[in-house]
Amino acid sequence: MNTLGWQWKSFAELSGAEVYSMLALRASIFVVEQACPYPDADGLDFDARHLFVHTPDEKLCAYLRLLTPGVRFATPSIGRVVVSPEYRGTGLGRRLMQAGMQECRRLWPATGMSVGAQAHLEPFYQSLGFRTLGAPYDEDGIPHIDMCCAA
């Protein structure tokens, strides 16, 4: 896994192929695998920072987006966190989140961060320092929980 390429980009910096791979990976997991028809293209990608993790042959294997404060939560937020099935269980999801948290702290050092997590992943996010805010809620048929992490 040391040969994976990690790259942050704004939406304006993305090629058509990168947008396609991003949307294809997200749809394959969030829509198809989780059997949850919902509009993934929510208009928030334009102002987000996007973290792409590629294999040496340029296959997208993990991704997340970082939203600026005030877009989804009062604090910056990490979302659309996804790891392709063949890379699950390797620690890539933790490394992906740590990279997102590091970028968030670099851009907004005095601000905490938030996630709207799928409820079954609450222990994972807690292990990264997030704490639960409020009760679970339904988002597109999947239980979610809002969580935050201090600056």
Residue 14, pLDDT score: 97
Exposed, middle or buried: residue 24 (CB in 10 Å: 0-12, 13-18, 19+)?
exposed
pTM of the model: 0.94
Residue 35, pLDDT score: 87
Q: Which long-range contacts (CB under 8 A, 24 or more apart) does 29-35 make?
A: 29/82, 29/84, 29/85, 30/80, 30/82, 33/85, 34/142
**Separation CA 116–CA 144 (nearest Å):** 6
Residue 37, pLDDT score: 86
Cα distances from 87 to residues 1, 4, 24, 32, 82, in angstroms, run 9, 11, 16, 18, 10
Tell me the residue type at 30. Answer: F
**Separation CA 66–CA 51 (nearest Å):** 8
> Which portions of the chain are predicted below pLDDT 50?
none
Residue 49, pLDDT score: 98
DSSP state at residue 68? P
**Separation CA 55–CA 61 (nearest Å):** 7
* Phi and psi torsions of 98, nearest 5°: -60, -40
Task: Please give the sequence-ordered ranges of beta strands (E in DSSP) within 11-112, or none if there are none.
Answer: 49-54, 60-67, 77-83
Predicted confidence (pLDDT) per residue in 40-84, tens digit: 889 999 999 999 999 999 999 999 999 999 999 999 999 999 999
Residue 2, pLDDT score: 67
